[in-house]
Structure formats: structure tokens, C-alpha cells
């Protein structure tokens, strides 16, 4: 492609001479042999208008035009010419004027008493600079596209551990832009405290030129949750191999992989415990039932005591024991549900009605805990599933939310249809769960409650997954809220499931 040159000179003869030299020059011809294109303007205003209307590679400008000085046109011309260069044409060059021109951004200058080869050489150098700048921009675009298209995390640090750049994938994970992060200490800002020393040690090894192995650390994402990331660091040195320039890191988010590994281990453990659980359930339930029966008979006997001072304390003690036995029964039921869950029934269930019924059931608990309940339940939010199991999901979530607000607060329940899914969200104002434990809250036996079993959320996830759905827990510590989002496919066909016909005898 032939180059385009804008010539600004009020001397018509000189302008024609320059144009003739450049058009005849084989050195300036395009790769396909085309002549360089020269466009002439005789004053600054018309020259700027032409430059704004079409692209040029080089502008050759007389230092003295009728309406401006050439040196004052360098900046506005370069502003409208993408990677374009400006060459000044002068009749009397001095060292001072040359320095001023270069400082103003000129690519060079040519005396009006030029020899043709000098003019061609100066313009050729300016064009070469333009081509190199455009080539660099092209490779930078490709580099940025590659950096931002990849699924891995890419990081660049200086030798002090401060951020130089990172790609869009890492920016999304950290909840920070590349520009905002520059200059910040990466380890201090984003590496979890428990792994910070390890990351810094591996970084120092990379700075020293030691090849580092892949290592795993926890990183705080944009929500404050800790994600597990596998990193490999390496240094890139300058001409002096002893002076590292940057340390580059390639990372892979292993959070989901670790979560799947943990769930697989939990499932394996539960499967191994299932026969034991079934046997224990039989052995434990029988004495529990006997204890409940005896407590019932004891209660009836206490009711016959005439002395109220004696009867009242004894009745309260019996109620406490009954409550603890019932709690043990619920724990046993939850454990069995997790260890060997029964397949869910399949029938149309209005999830909005399930939520409403559970909230009505828990009205006493929410009122006594001074929890204000807000309902936003879209009608006919129908899913195909097991009514009792879905009630258990909602009940577990509501109980957790109320327990998180011992001093009272707000609980918002929302059910809505979004596309082909029904979405239930429960948000409480209990201060917000610690984001660092979000990855573990659904694990069996994980709990933050002093008397908790750690089975409630594990059962919730198990039941939701049986319904081909998903459950996600998120926290906003700034607002002091925790939100659980349950998503289940919408039941497109809500006709009752037909029962199998009776066998023909």
C-alpha cells in the first residue's frame, strides 16, 4: 500500500519540487509498486482540515506559514494522524531550532536547499517509524486479545511484588480493574493471610531466577470469599541476566475442582456410613420411642399432683427432656436423609405456596425473635418435585436465617420465575456470613453454631440437586446481609402425574 504524505508549504514552486522528488522516488513506492500519494496545502487551516478528513502517514510542514508556525502545528497534526509523523521544512536550521522541533514531537527536519536523496531519506525514516508503530499496535492488540480470551489467570509483578498488569479473567475474579490494581502489593492485597508467606517465598525464588514449582494458595475474590488458585511464577530478565525485569504468573482457579474433590470424599464417606447409619437408626429409635412413651406417662402422673409448686417445676423438667429427645430424633432423621436419601416424588408443586406455608409455620419463631418478614412471592411458580422435601429445604433455610438474627432483623423471601427456572432467594440481615467459609458451608457437619449439627445446608443441597437445581450462598458484609439462592427448573407441563393402572388379574 502506497504511503500518503501531506505537504504544507506556501511556496508553490518549492511545494511542486518536493512533490516531484517524492513521487519519483522508488524507495518510497508501496509494496505493490504504487507511487507515494502527495496532497498539498498552502496554509495551516486548510492543511488541518485535510488531515482531519483522511489518513496520512507523514506531514511535511514549512516552519513559517502565512497563518501559523510549523512547530505549533506538530501537536494538532499528530493528534489527528494515527501514528503519523511530522517533518519540518526550514530555510535556516540551528541547533536550538532542531532541539525545539524534536522536543515538540517532530520526526526530523529538512533544509529547503535539500538534496533529493536527503529529503527522501528523511521521509523514508519517518515512514519506517510509522510502520513500526502500527506494527507494534497490531501485535499489542493481538496480545491483549490473547490475554483476555484465555481462561487462565495471567499476572505481571515488578521485582517488589507490585502489580504491573493482569488479564481480564483475573480482574473478574478479584473484582478490580487492571488500572486500579497497578502499583498495589499483590500478596498483601489479595493473597489470603494463611498462604501469604508461602506466596512471597515463591515470588522471591522467582525473582532470584530459581524455577518455581506449581503451588496452591488462597486468594480473596471480589466478594471477600477465598478461592484456591494454582500458580506458577517465572522471571523475565533484562539484558543483564542478573537483573529480573518482571515476574510473570500463570494461575488456574482450582476452587471448583477442590469443591468437587471434597464433595466426592464426603459422598464416599456417607456411602460407607450408610449401612452403619441404618443399623444405628434401628437401635437408637427403639429406646427413643420408649423414652418418649415413658415421659408421656410421667407427664400424666405429674399432672395429677395437686401441689402446683411441685407440679410446675417437674412438668418443666419433663418438657426439657422431651424437647431434647425430639431434637435427637430430628438429628437422626437428618443424618439418615443425608446418608441414604430416598428418591423424591415427582408432582407439580407451587414453590411460592411452599414458602408461604413454611413462613406461616415459623411465624411464632420469627415474631419472638423480632424478625420482620417480607414476602414477594410470584404465584404459580410451579416446579416438578417432592412437596415434603421442598418444605424441608425452605424450613432449613428459614431456621438458619432466624438463628443468624438473635437480636432481630429483616428476612426477605422472594420467589420468581426467570426464563425456564423458578428462583427462590432468602436474604437475612444477620451481619453477613464470613466470605472465607463460603466454600465449606454446604459440607456435611460444617457449622458455625455452638450447638449446630452441620447437616441442614448439606441436606438442602442434596435435595435441590435431586430436583435438578442449584443452591448458592452469598454474603455482603458491607450491608450485613446473607442471601441464599435456590434455582429449580420450571414445570412446563403441570398436569398431575398419572398413576400406573392396576394390574389385570
Question: In which domain, by residue range, is 111 found?
Answer: 4-146
CA-closest candidate to residue 412, choices 396, 391, 434, 397: 397
Average pLDDT over residues 195-218: 89
Tell me, what's the pLDDT at 131? 87
Say whether pLDDT at 231 is over 90.
yes
Average pLDDT over residues 336-345: 68
Boundary-marking domain end, from 339, 362, 388: 339
Contacts of 89 (CB under 8 A, 6+ apart): 9, 14, 18, 60, 61, 62, 63, 70, 109, 110, 112
Measured distance CA(174)–CA(93) in Å, rounded: 55
pLDDT band at 242 (very low <50, low <70, confident <90, very high): low
**Phi, psi torsion values for 35, nearest 5 degrees:** -75, 155
| Integer Rg of the chain from CA | 38
Whether residue 497 is contained in a domain is answered as no
Residues 105-117 pLDDT 10s = 888 878 888 888 8
Phi-psi region of 350 (alpha: psi -120 to 50; beta: other; left: phi over 0): beta
Claim to verify: residue 308 and residue 233 sit in the same structural domain? no
pTM above 0.75, yes or no: no
Residues 429-481 pLDDT 10s = 988 777 777 777 877 766 777 666 667 788 888 889 889 999 988 888 778 88
| 353, 394 Cβ separation under 8 angstroms | no
Whether residue 494 is contained in a domain is answered as no
CATH number at residue 210: 3.30.450.20
Claim to verify: residue 386 and residue 312 sit in the same structural domain? no
Tell me, what's the pLDDT at 344? 78
Claim to verify: residue 65 and residue 87 sit in the same structural domain? yes
Claim to verify: residue 246 and residue 283 sit in the same structural domain? no
Whether residue 164 is contained in a domain is answered as yes
Say whether pLDDT at 385 is over 50.
yes
Claim to verify: residue 476 and residue 443 sit in the same structural domain? yes
Whether residue 503 is contained in a domain is answered as no
Whether residue 504 is contained in a domain is answered as no
Claim to verify: residue 472 and residue 361 sit in the same structural domain? yes
Residues 269-303 pLDDT 10s = 666 566 666 666 666 767 777 887 888 888 888 88
Say whether pLDDT at 31 is over 60.
no
Claim to verify: residue 80 and residue 182 sit in the same structural domain? no
**Of 22-31, 51-60, 442-451, which gets the smallest average pLDDT?**
442-451
| 382, 424 Cβ separation under 8 angstroms | no
3-state class of 489 per DSSP? strand
Average pLDDT over residues 222-246: 77
pLDDT band at 143 (very low <50, low <70, confident <90, very high): confident
**Phi, psi torsion values for 65, nearest 5 degrees:** -110, 165
Measured distance CA(303)–CA(268) in Å, rounded: 50
Contacts of 177 (CB under 8 A, 6+ apart): 171
Q: How many domains does the chain have?
A: 4
C-alpha cell at 8: 504544507
Boundary-marking domain end, from 219, 253, 287: 253
CATH number at residue 415: 3.30.565.10
Report the percentage of the chain scoring pLDDT > 70: 84
Claim to verify: residue 453 and residue 376 sit in the same structural domain? yes
Whether residue 258 is contained in a domain is answered as no
For residue 273, CA distances in Å to 193, 203, 269, 335 come to: 36, 44, 6, 10
Boundary-marking domain end, from 287, 322, 339: 339
What percent of the residues of the chain are helix, what percent strand, and what percent coil, each to the nearest 5? 50, 25, 30
Whether residue 438 is contained in a domain is answered as yes
| 431, 404 Cβ separation under 8 angstroms | yes
Amino acid at each position: 500500500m502506497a504511503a500518503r504524505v501531506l505537504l504544507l508549504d506556501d511556496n508553490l514552486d518549492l511545494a511542486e519540487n518536493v512533490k516531484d522528488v517524492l513521487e519519483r522516488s522508488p524507495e518510497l513506492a508501496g509494496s505493490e509498486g504504487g507511487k507515494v500519494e502527495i496532497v498539498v496545502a498552502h496554509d495551516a487551516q486548510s492543511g488541518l482540515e485535510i488531515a482531519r478528513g483522511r489518513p496520512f502517514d507523514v506531514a511535511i510542514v514549512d516552519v513559517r506559514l502565512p497563518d501559523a508556525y510549523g512547530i505549533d502545528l506538530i501537536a494538532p497534526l499528530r493528534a489527528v494522524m494515527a501514528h503519523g509523523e511530522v517533518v519540518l521544512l526550514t530555510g535556516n536550521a540551528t541547533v536550538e531550532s532542531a532541539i525545539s522541533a524534536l522536543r515538540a514531537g517532530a520526526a526530523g527536519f529538512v533544509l529547503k536547499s535539500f538534496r533529493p536523496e536527503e529529503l527522501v531519506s528523511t521521509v523514508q525514516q519517518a515512514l519506517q517509524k510509522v510502520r513500526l508503530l502500527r506494527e507494534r499496535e497490531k501485535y499489542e492488540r493481538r496480545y491483549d486479545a490473547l490475554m483476555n480470551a484465555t481462561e487462565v489467570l495471567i499476572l505481571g509483578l515488578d521485582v517488589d511484588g507490585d502489580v504491573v498488569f493482569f488479564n481480564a479473567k483475573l480482574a473478574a475474579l478479584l473484582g478490580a480493574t487492571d488500572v486500579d490494581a497497578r502499583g498495589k502489593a499483590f500478596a498483601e492485597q489479595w493473597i489470603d493471610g494463611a498462604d501469604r508467606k508461602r506466596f512471597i517465598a515463591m515470588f522471591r525464588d522467582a525473582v532470584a531466577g530459581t524455577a518455581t514449582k506449581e503451588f496452591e494458595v488462597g486468594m480473596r475474590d471480589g466478594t471477600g470469599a477465598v478461592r484456591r488458585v494454582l500458580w506458577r511464577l517465572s522471571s523475565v530478565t533484562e539484558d543483564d541476566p542478573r537483573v529480573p525485569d518482571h515476574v510473570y504468573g500463570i494461575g488456574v482457579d482450582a476452587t471448583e475442582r477442590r469443591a468437587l474433590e471434597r464433595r466426592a470424599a464426603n459422598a464416599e464417606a456417607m456411602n460407607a456410613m450408610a449401612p452403619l447409619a441404618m443399623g444405628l437408626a434401628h437401635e437408637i429409635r427403639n429406646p427413643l420411642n420408649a423414652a418418649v412413651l415413658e415421659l408421656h406417662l410421667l407427664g400424666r402422673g405429674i399432672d395429677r399432683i395437686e401441689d402446683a409448686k411441685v407440679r410446675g417445676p417437674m412438668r418443666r423438667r419433663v418438657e426439657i427432656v422431651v424437647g431434647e429427645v425430639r431434637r435427637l430424633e430430628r438429628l437422626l432423621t437428618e443424618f439418615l436423609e443425608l446418608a441414604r436419601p430416598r428418591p423424591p416424588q415427582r408432582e407439580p408443586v407451587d414453590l411460592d405456596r411452599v414458602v408461604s406455608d413454611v413462613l406461616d409455620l415459623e411465624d411464632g419463631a420469627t415474631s419472638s425473635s423480632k424478625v420482620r418478614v417480607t414476602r414477594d412471592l410470584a404465584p404459580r411458580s410451579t416446579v416438578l418435585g417432592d412437596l415434603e422435601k421442598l418444605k424441608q429445604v425452605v424450613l432449613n433455610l428459614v431456621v438458619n436465617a432466624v438463628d443468624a438474627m438473635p437480636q432481630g432483623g429483616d428476612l426477605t423471601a422472594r420467589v420468581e420465575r426467570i426464563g425456564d427456572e423458578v428462583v427462590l432467594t432468602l436474604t437475612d440481615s444477620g451481619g453477613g456470613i464470613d466470605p472465607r467459609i463460603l466454600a465449606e458451608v454446604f459440607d456435611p457437619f460444617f457449622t458455625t453454631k455452638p450447638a449446630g449439627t452441620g447437616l441442614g445446608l448439606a441436606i438442602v443441597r442434596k435435595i435441590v440437586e435431586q430436583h435438578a437445581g442449584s443452591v448458592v450462598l452469598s454474603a455482603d458484609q458491607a450491608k450485613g446481609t446473607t442471601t441464599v439462592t435456590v434455582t429449580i427448573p420450571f414445570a412446563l407441563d403441570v398436569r398431575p402425574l398419572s398413576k400406573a393402572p392396576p394390574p389385570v388379574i
